[in-house]
Amino acid sequence: MARARAELAASLLAARGLDAHVVLTERPGHACEIAGAMLREGTTTIVAWGGDGTVNEIASTLAFRDATLGIIPSGSGNGLARELHIPLDPVGAIDVALNGRDVQIDAGELDGHLFFNVAGIGLDARVAHRFATEGLLIRGFRKYLTITAQELFSYTPDEHTVVADGDAVRVRALLIAIANSRQYGNGALIAPEARLNDGLLDVVVVAARSPLAALVQVPRIFAGHIARIRGVTTRRAAEITITSAKPVVYHVDGEPFVGSAEITVRTRPGALRVRVPADARIEVLA
C-alpha cells in the first residue's frame, strides 16, 4: 500500500509539472531522519502522507524551523488533519499542500516529546500502547474502538496529582487528556473549546467511573458535550505537572511512551507552520 501511495503521489505531482522527491519510510523514526536530511538540503515544504504518528515525526522535525508541513491524511483517526480542515482524499489533500495558505500552530511538549494534536495518560494511553502493537496488521477506527472497549473493562484507574498553572487537584482518573486541538480523530471531541493557536493547552480530567457508565457517555463526546458529563473537568493552562505513585504511561499524538512518576507538559506557542486550505478558518476562540 505504501508503494502504491508513493506512485500516486509522484504521478499527481508530475501531472502538475512539479519535480518532487517521494520517499518511503521503513521504520519508526525514519520519517524524522528523512525530514532532517531534506531540511539540510534546503527543502522548505515537506508533505507527510500517513497517520498522526507519521505526521508527528515530521512535524517535530520541522518545528521551530523555517519550513512548512503539508499533510495527506491516511491514518485511523487523522485528528490534526481534520482540525486543519484538510481533505481526507489524497487528491484534495495534495491540492491543499500545493495551493493552500500557511498558518502557525502551537505544539505541546510532554516529557521532552512534542505533540500537535492530543497527548494523554490513563485509558487512552493504554489504548495507544495496545494499538501500536495489535494494530500493525489490522488498523482503522473499528480496531481502535474494539481495543478501547476491551480496556474499559480491564483498566484500573490510578490516583494522580494534576497541577495546572499552580492549581493542584488530586484525582483517581480514567484518563487525563492534554489537548492542543479539539479531537482525537473521527469526530471524538475530547476538548471542544481547544484551539490550535491560543498559546494554551486544555487539560481534560475524566474521573474514574464504571465501564458501563463510560460506554453510555461516549455519544456525548462525539456530540461535543463532554463538559456536561459528571466528573469531567477542563482547565486551560500553559504548564501542567502530573505525578503518580508509579511510572506514568502516556501517549503523544497516539504514540506510546513510559515516563517517570512525574511528568511535565508545557505549551510551545507558534511552534509549527502548516499548510491548510485557503478558505480554512484557524483562529483563536474570541
- Concatenate the DSSP letters of all residues of 69-118 into one string: EEEEE-SSSBHHHHHTT--SSHHHHHHHHHH-EEEEEEEEEETTEEESSE
Q: Cα separation of 147 and 142, whole Å?
A: 9
For residues 185-195, average pLDDT: 93
Question: Does 219 share its domain with 259?
Answer: yes
pLDDT tens digits, residue range 29-60?
899 999 999 999 999 999 999 888 899 999 99
Check residue 263 and give its pLDDT: 97
Averaged confidence pLDDT in the chain: 90
Assign 282 a pLDDT band (cuts: 50, 70, 90): low
First to last CA, the chain: 43
**Range of the structural domain that residue 8 is part of:** 2-106+271-276
Predicted structure pTM score = 0.91
The confidence score (pLDDT) of residue 138 equals 55
Per-residue model confidence (pLDDT) at position 140: 66
Q: Taking the alpha carbons of 236, 241, 243, 246 in that order, is the dihedral positive or negative?
A: positive
Q: Tell me: the pLDDT tens digits for 93-107?
A: 999 999 999 999 999
121 and 99 together in one domain: no
In a shared domain, residues 236 and 138:
yes
Considering the domain architecture, whether residues 33 and 171 belong to the same structural domain is answered as: no
Residue 58 lies in a domain: yes
**What is the domain count for the chain?**
2
94 within a domain of the structure (yes/no): yes
Do residues 263 and 134 both lie within one domain? Answer: yes
pLDDT of 18: 74
Does one domain contain both 67 and 140?
no
Q: Are 211 and 232 in contact (CB under 8 A)?
A: no
> Do 74 and 177 fall within a single domain?
no
Q: How does pLDDT run across 16-37, given as a tens digit for each residue? A: 777 777 888 888 889 999 999 9
Position 285 pLDDT exceeds 50? no
* Same domain, residue pair 204 and 263: yes
- pLDDT digit string, tens, across residues 166-180: 999 999 999 999 999
Confidence band, pLDDT 50/70/90 cuts, at residue 139: low
Q: What is the pLDDT of residue 283?
A: 57
Cβ density class 48-83: b for 16+ within 10 Å, e for less: bbbbbbbbbbbbbbbbebebbbbbbbbbbbbbbbbb
